[in-house]
A and B are shown apart, each in its own frame.
Chain A
């Protein structure tokens, strides 16, 4: 065994050292859906980040004589009931929706995974953590959000400025009210994984818990986590709009995709494009993230990567 070992490693060295992440990327590249998803997602991000500097109409500017216009050269997506340019509003709204969607999802997934893994792996912590999960599942959401907003809105707005303050509040509010499903799923998987042979083997050679979790458990619960993450973005974008609608979120003239969609529903028959565009952008975002997730999952699975 020891004699044979140098030969292949020498061959690898000759081909320049390959990191694990390089392998992952190579595999990811061969996944057509994932590349496509990455492309679309990149385009959406560019649209919202670079877009406003190319399309300089102010999303909040009211041109009342130009209201309820359909799609045209001056206003590619038309205008709303106050004559605001929907194209500009989509860009401005996308920036907020994407930021809220991604951060809130990340927060909720991290929290859910952490609680799920700890509860599944350490038997002593299982009871309290799962009862905590039950508690959060049982709390009525709306009063909880009302209380959070009442307690923290003003102090956050004063410390971080009104917009950043509310952004933080919304992200945290969505994050801490949506981690429970992930936690329950991860815990269920960990309970099963913990008894598998490779985990028993690793434990029997004295692998410390931290290493066990990071090297053996986490990679194996990745796929449900990725699914949760994809679905989580959609939920976060929509929840944000519900919060703003209730007056718990951003100021009312601040566009977000969810809000544009919500406001447009009443005009579904007169101006269908007012709901179509935000709907398309939310769906595209979620679809592209889903494909990226698929690609990542395949790329991170060593059994597939080899083939």
Chain B
């Protein structure tokens, strides 16, 4: 397992570079112009000079190389400078966003707290309620609990968040006035009352996202449990006189987790990608909103960097999932 992990980590480097290249090509090919949102009153020759100032007149391979160097060489130095107080990256040009004319990573750091708060907690809550629901639904298949669970999760998944979000706002902000409809990213939790305000502004986005996540994960949990509950080893375990709780929660659960682990591991990187629609609806303005506005504004350095960070997370967590498979089922061999 260790050699497998090491080998995977080593192959991850060329894979990531290849992925970054494909992303760059894709963005190059995609139609769009960073000046699309500028007013039509700006004449063509002024636009041309603005493009030149962004460095868009350089050939594609030069721009790719510049980005790669900035990402793998200059930005890590900036992080080191931040930690150690050194001046390694002083005077070096960092990756600059075309929209903000500011270093891409500064903005990303600024956005991480609200995204982790809202999307991350929603994911934890989602997983936390999905697993028990899935287990009970499977164990008591076709009971009223299972039927309601099925109904709620199917409706929760098939009704998109752009609708549930607005519905929540209309009910809980407009009609009842319980929660704010606009998320305040500048709120700092310093005391009990600011903590309560933070909680009240997080409730709606977290609920919407958690419902969506839980719906999906609980379905996989349920179906996988159902598959295993009828296996021979379960009958054997029961015949041996093992306690029912042990049979279900240790043996069956462990063997049912492989698809669930896959789904959860695929979901973790998406926490960092943010929840584009939910963030827009509640004005959380996290990484998801950053990505979508960057795409709409054709802010290629920002999109490229975010997509690449995202790619790194995907590779990492898929590797984590593969390692967990081996722990859950020691018979799985990779070598």
A contact set with B: CB distance below 8 Å: 33, 127, 130-131, 133-135, 137-140, 142-144, 146-147, 150, 180-181, 184-185, 188-189, 191-192, 195-196, 220, 223-224, 226-227, 230-231, 234, 237-238, 258, 261-262, 265, 268-269, 275, 279, 282-283, 285-287, 290-291, 297, 301, 303-304
A290: which B residues are within 8 A, CB to CB? Answer: 150, 154, 219
A269-B258 CB under 8 A given contacts A138-B311, A191-B332: no
Task: Identify the stretch in B45-53, B56-64, B160-168 within 8 Å (CB) of chain A at 4 or more residues.
Answer: B160-168
**Residue in chain A with minimal CB distance to B307:** A140
Residue B261 is within 8 A (CB to CB) of chain A in the complex: yes
Q: Evaluate contact between B332 and A192: CB separation under 8 angstroms.
A: yes
Q: Evaluate contact between B23 and A231: CB separation under 8 angstroms.
A: no
Q: Evaluate contact between A238 and B160: CB separation under 8 angstroms.
A: yes
Q: Evaluate contact between A188 and B157: CB separation under 8 angstroms.
A: no
Q: Evaluate contact between B26 and A224: CB separation under 8 angstroms.
A: no
7 closest A-B pairs by CB: A138-B311, A195-B331, A234-B158, A286-B158, A143-B30, A223-B223, A224-B259
Residue B262 is within 8 A (CB to CB) of chain A in the complex: yes
Q: Evaluate contact between A195 and B307: CB separation under 8 angstroms.
A: no
Residue B69 is within 8 A (CB to CB) of chain A in the complex: no
Q: List 24 A-B contacts (CB under 8 A).
A: A135-B15, A135-B19, A138-B307, A138-B310, A138-B315, A139-B23, A140-B307, A143-B303, A150-B29, A188-B259, A189-B259, A192-B332, A223-B226, A231-B216, A237-B158, A238-B158, A261-B163, A265-B166, A269-B170, A269-B174, A279-B159, A291-B150, A301-B230, A303-B230
A268-B167 CB under 8 A given contacts A134-B314, A134-B315, A231-B157: yes
Main secondary structure of the interface of A (DSSP, over half): helix
Q: Distance in Å from the Cβ of B18 to the closest Cβ of chain A?
A: 8
Q: Which of A137, A181, A261, A268 contacts B170 (CB 8 A)?
A: A268
Q: Evaluate contact between B162 and A192: CB separation under 8 angstroms.
A: no
A143: which B residues are within 8 A, CB to CB? Answer: 26-27, 30, 32, 295, 303
**Residue in chain A with minimal CB distance to B332:** A191
Q: Evaluate contact between A142 and B295: CB separation under 8 angstroms.
A: yes
Q: Evaluate contact between A192 and B224: CB separation under 8 angstroms.
A: no
B332: which A residues are within 8 A, CB to CB? Answer: 191-192, 195
| A-B contact sample (5 more), CB < 8 A, given A135-B15, A304-B230 | A138-B23, A139-B307, A140-B291, A184-B262, A195-B332
Residue B142 is within 8 A (CB to CB) of chain A in the complex: yes
Q: Evaluate contact between B31 and A297: CB separation under 8 angstroms.
A: no
Q: Evaluate contact between B220 and A227: CB separation under 8 angstroms.
A: yes
A234: which B residues are within 8 A, CB to CB? Answer: 154, 157-158
Q: Evaluate contact between B227 and A223: CB separation under 8 angstroms.
A: yes
Residue B193 is within 8 A (CB to CB) of chain A in the complex: no
Residue B65 is within 8 A (CB to CB) of chain A in the complex: no
Q: Distance in Å from the Cβ of A259 to the closest Cβ of chain B?
A: 12
Q: Which of B15, B223, B310 contacts A131 (CB 8 A)?
A: B15
B230: which A residues are within 8 A, CB to CB? Answer: 301, 303-304
Q: How many of chain B's residues have a CB under 8 angstroms from any CB in A?
A: 61
B282: which A residues are within 8 A, CB to CB? Answer: none
Residue B182 is within 8 A (CB to CB) of chain A in the complex: no
A304: which B residues are within 8 A, CB to CB? Answer: 230
A-B contacts counted at CB < 8 A amount to 158
**Residue in chain B with minimal CB distance to A266:** B166
Main secondary structure of the interface of B (DSSP, over half): helix
A191-B325 CB under 8 A given contacts A223-B226, A227-B219, A297-B223: yes
**Residue in chain A with minimal CB distance to B226:** A223
Q: Evaluate contact between B261 and A134: CB separation under 8 angstroms.
A: no
Q: Evaluate contact between A192 and B331: CB separation under 8 angstroms.
A: yes
A147-B29 CB under 8 A given contacts A138-B23, A224-B259, A282-B158: yes
CA distance A213 to B144 in the complex (A): 37
Residue B22 is within 8 A (CB to CB) of chain A in the complex: yes
Binary CB contact string for chain B from 200 to 230 against chain A (1 if under 8 A, 0 otherwise)? 0000000000000000100110011011001
Which residues of B (283-335) have their CB < 8 Å from a CB of A? 291-292, 295, 303, 306-308, 310-311, 314-315, 318, 321, 325, 329, 331-333
Q: Distance in Å from the Cβ of A300 to the closest Cβ of chain B?
A: 11
A150-B31 CB under 8 A given contacts A138-B23, A139-B23, A227-B219: yes
Q: Evaluate contact between A287 and B155: CB separation under 8 angstroms.
A: yes
Q: Evaluate contact between A130 and B318: CB separation under 8 angstroms.
A: yes
CA distance A286 to B158 in the complex (A): 7
CA distance A207 to B20 in the complex (A): 42
Residue B247 is within 8 A (CB to CB) of chain A in the complex: no
Q: Evaluate contact between B26 and A227: CB separation under 8 angstroms.
A: no
Q: Evaluate contact between B26 and A144: CB separation under 8 angstroms.
A: yes
**Residue in chain B with minimal CB distance to A133:** B318
Q: Evaluate contact between B162 and A188: CB separation under 8 angstroms.
A: no
Residue B68 is within 8 A (CB to CB) of chain A in the complex: no
Q: Which of B19, B30, B162, B224 contacts A147 (CB 8 A)?
A: B30
Q: Evaluate contact between B220 and A150: CB separation under 8 angstroms.
A: no
Which residues of B (256-275) have their CB < 8 Å from a CB of A? 258-259, 261-263, 266, 269
